Amino acid sequence: MIVFKKIASLQQHLQRIQQNGGSVGFVPTMGALHQGHIQLTERSIAEGQFTVCSIFVNPTQFNDKDDFAKYPITVENDIVQLEAAGVQALFLPSVEEIYPNGTALPENAYPLGFLDQVFEAAHRPGHFQGVCQVVHRLLDIVQPDKLYMGQKDYQQCMVIRKLLDLTGLDTRTELIICPTMRETDGLAMSSRNRRLPETDRQVAPTIYELLQYAREKAGELPLPEIEEYALAQLTAAGFKPDYFAFARASDLQPVGRYENDTKLIVVVAAFLGQVRLIDNILL
């Protein structure tokens, strides 16, 4: 695996790959890699892509400075995992390399509409503008044929699909959304899981248990009743929930009743101690 820290050298290498008929697959990450990230790279490799992974902790998507400061940095271990997976290139830029003109972004630079108002966006103001800022920049640098992301960050995936449409990059880059990878007890894999104390780690799978409950009961009980029950159960277990809600999978519009012909998703976010966990499940 070749490690690139400069844009120019990475682009020169990728241009040679594409000029020789190769296709580039891209997995953007913030490091602290787990098997969920590795699954994305393995999917790219299996599909015959020259696979590039990036590790960059983007400061502009953190609305909480403490969360940014506490984000785990494990680059040496990340490199070992990527090499073992067969990734061909790692892009490891500095903040100055990504944002040579500074990180300032005009208000609502990316008109995301409803996606920038609900669920994660409502609880993390400015988060998705920062996500779009860095992903737009990375896509311009890498110019991949395929972009691989995980379903755990479902709203983020929808935001990136919107970004591709807004910028016209959807004509060049295909978004591939891969299933959420879970621990054996159901907890969605996340870089933040390593910050959970052991006592909280034992409680964390409650989120997935309630998602499964919601999926099982969606056709039997009123959806608001299921949501109220889940929120109460999370609180009783020691969580501080931000939301637990049914929504249309196509656009994340909240729904109040179950309809067989509408694909739904259940989304949840909750603090467990100082760690904020998110998850979802498709119906």
Element of type H or E holding 62: none
Count the neighbouring beta carbons within 10 Å of the beta carbon of residue 47.
Answer: 14
Closest by CA position to 246, among listed 205, 280, 220, 206: 280
In contact, 121 and 108? CB cutoff 8 Å: no
Reported for 211-218, long-range contacts at CB under 8 A and 24+ positions apart, including other chains, are 211/266, 211/268, 211/279, 211/280, 211/281, 212/186, 212/281, 214/244, 214/246, 214/266, 214/281, 215/266, 215/281, 215/283, 218/246, 218/258, 218/264, 218/266, 218/283
- Binding-site residues for beta-alanine: 61
In contact, 190 and 37? CB cutoff 8 Å: no
- Binding-site residues: 30-37, 61, 150-153, 156, 189-192
| Catalytic (active site) residue 37 | yes
- Binding-site residues for ATP: 30-37, 150-153, 189-192
- Binding-site residues for (R)-pantoate: 61, 156
Query: Any idea which residues carry the catalytic annotation?
Result: 37
